[in-house]
Structure 1
Amino acid sequence: MPITYEEAKAEVEQIISSNKLVLFTASWCPDCVYIKEVLTKHGALDKFYLWELSRYEKGSDDYKTYCKVWFEQACGQQNIPLLFIDGVYFGTEHQIRSWEKNNKVKENIEKFFL
């Protein structure tokens, strides 16, 4: 039986509130792969609680429910990966890419994630 919206919302809220760093991701997502590679390179990925959407088949009811919850939790953000710090939505890979563009990746990863 598919997960209900309320069950998914409770799970996501519990994950976000119980972990300093949370990354909602999917193995098939190129932006997720990018952010995990950058975080790994800088020794930060293991600091994150990773929640993989890939465990559900794309288009399944559970997949759609979790996506709806994630996007609601992220203030309307419409794509993954989603980063949360101390229970607050932080951004997607766009944040990391902007750091990269300004040569601030290492500095900001150390500041925010380590």
Structure 2
Amino acid sequence: MSAAKTKAEGIIADNSVVVFSKSYCPYCRATKDLLNEQGASFYTLELDQVEDGAAIQDALQEISSQRTVPNIFISQKHIGGNSDLQARKAELPALLKAAGAIKA
């Protein structure tokens, strides 16, 4: 297994909410804004700001069958991208609470 895949899987395993992002991506910004509006604590990895970002993006394709960003995981489950997250807005508070990402 590649080091990048091990790293990506470790980040997903260690954090209840993860956003693999790129700092200049408007869809990534929309995702982070929505999570912040919900009061969620989440881990963000800006793939354009880390040396192994391209390799991690390739590994995410293997893990989730999605190469694009944002690539979102809640409770170690792949949610999808920004449009998938926005489509689940109504259930998001419950998902985040179950993940322990929101203080009750």
Percent of matched pairs sharing the same residue: 29
2:96 maps to which residue? 113
Gaps of 5+ in 1: 100-104
- Give the alignment's TM-score, normalised by structure 2: 0.80
Q: Root-mean-square deviation (CA), in Å? A: 1.8
- Give the alignment's TM-score, normalised by structure 1: 0.74
Gaps of 5+ in 2: 98-104
Distance in 1 between the 2:33 and 2:16 partners? 20
Q: In structure 1, the residue corresponding to 2:24 is in which secondary structure?
A: coil
After TM superposition, give the deviation of residue 54 of structure 1 in Å: 2.3
1:84 maps to which residue? 73
- List, as ranges, runs of 4+ consecutive aligned residues in structure 1 with deviation greater than 6 Å: none
Question: Is the 2:16–2:75 Cα contact (8 Å) retained in structure 1?
Answer: yes
Which of 49, 58, 72 pairs up with 2:62? 72
After TM superposition, give the deviation of residue 64 of structure 1 in Å: 2.6
- Count of residues in correspondence between the two structures: 97
Distance in 1 between the 2:5 and 2:85 partners? 26
Which digits, 9 at most, give the CA deviation of each residue in 1:17-51, with x for residues without a partner?
Answer: 1222111111111110111111112212xx11111
Q: In structure 2, the residue corresponding to 1:50 is in which secondary structure?
A: strand
2:43 maps to which residue? 49
Q: In structure 1, the residue corresponding to 2:69 is in which secondary structure?
A: coil
